[in-house]
Amino acid sequence: AQKITQTQPGMFVQEKEAVTLDCTYDTSDQSYGLFWYKQPSSGEMIFLIYQGSYDEQNATEGRYSLNFQKARKSANLVISASQLGDSAMYFCAMREGLGGGSNYKLTFGKGTLLTVNP
Amino acid sequence: DTEVTQTPKHLVMGMTNKKSLKCEQHMGHRAMYWYKQKAKKPPELMFVYSYEKLSINESVPSRFSPECPNSSLLNLHLHALQPEDSALYLCASSQGQAGNNEQFFGPGTRLTVL
């Protein structure tokens, strides 16, 4: 079974509108971390936002927020006021456990290609 | 300095060549990573170095040989590669095991094996 599922291969949004990118995860660990990365066509992976499994508040970073629903095992990324520069591939990732060697391993979803239209 | 640098940006090599990819960070991070990414796919972890020691090897073929000369540098030595090894190779670093420990990625090296 996939540990990270991103069900939207591609998404389109109008400039200045908000968009939600879906991510569900599967783990039996109590301690884990969820990450979102942006990858433009240039190739660099850019860290956007992090949510820890024990964090009670949804994470926010500027125009990015993470809608964390622990019971549903979902960690959707919300981008407000989309900009043309937001067009990129977006990956959801999970790290299981907060100690030992497993702490280094990120499991990535397959990604969602977001296109922002002018 | 909050970036990870990688050289070269592009590399074309034959199957009999020996080449090296280089990665450098000056953020004081103690964990460094190599990933391989094929087109339209997520990155796949290859190696992890923690405190300059190899911590994880994800069953990578021996034609890929990592090296961590010091805490700021990470190399990936390539020898006798196959055309299917053509991919984007990403280096990343993170503080270590503590906290949220996000990984910061370099811009990658696009490798083509002829």
Q: What is the pLDDT of residues A55-106, one digit of tens each?
A: 989 999 999 999 999 999 999 999 999 999 999 999 999 988 665 555 678 8
Cβ atoms A15, A38 nearer than 8 A: no
Amino acid residing at B47 = F
Give the model's pLDDT for residue A29.
87
Which residue has tokens 């850019």?
Answer: A46
Cα distances from B57 to residues B9, B23, B48, in angstroms, run 24, 17, 7
Q: Does any CB of chain B come closer than 8 Å to the CB of residue A91?
A: yes
- For an interface test with B, which of A104, A105, A112, A113 has the most B Cβ atoms less than 10 Å from its Cβ? A104
- B1, pLDDT greater than 60: no
Cβ atoms A38, A88 nearer than 8 A: yes
Distance CA A79, CA B12 (A): 37
**Contacting residues of B for A59, CB less than 8 Å apart:** none
User: Would you call A105 and B45 a contact, using CB atoms and an 8 Å cutoff?
Assistant: yes
pLDDT in tens, A7-37: 999 999 999 999 999 999 999 888 889 999 9
Give the model's pLDDT for residue A41.
92
Helix (H) or strand (E) holding B87: strand B87-94
**Contacting residues of B for A57, CB less than 8 Å apart:** none
Contacts of A78 (CB under 8 A, 6+ apart): A18, A19, A20, A21, A64, A65, A66, A67
Q: Which of A50, A100, A104 lies closest to B100 in CB terms?
A: A50
Q: Does any CB of chain B come closer than 8 Å to the CB of residue A110?
A: yes
User: Would you call B102 and A47 a contact, using CB atoms and an 8 Å cutoff?
Assistant: yes
Task: Name residues 30-69 of chain B within 8 A of A (Cβ).
Answer: 31, 33, 40-43, 45, 48, 50, 55-56
Tokens of A95: 């790290």
* Largest pairwise CA distance in chain B: 43
User: Would you call A101 and B106 a contact, using CB atoms and an 8 Å cutoff?
Assistant: no
Cβ atoms A18, A72 nearer than 8 A: no
Q: Does any CB of chain B come closer than 8 Å to the CB of residue A95?
A: yes
Q: Which of A42, A95, A111 lies closest to B42 in CB terms?
A: A111
Q: Does any CB of chain A come closer than 8 Å to the CB of residue B103?
A: yes
Give the model's pLDDT for residue A1.
63
Helix (H) or strand (E) holding A74: strand A74-79
Distance CA B63, CA B6 (A): 20
**Taking the alpha carbons of A78, A79, A81, A87 in that order, is the dihedral positive or negative?**
negative
Tokens of A21: 């990118």
Cβ atoms A46, B105 nearer than 8 A: yes
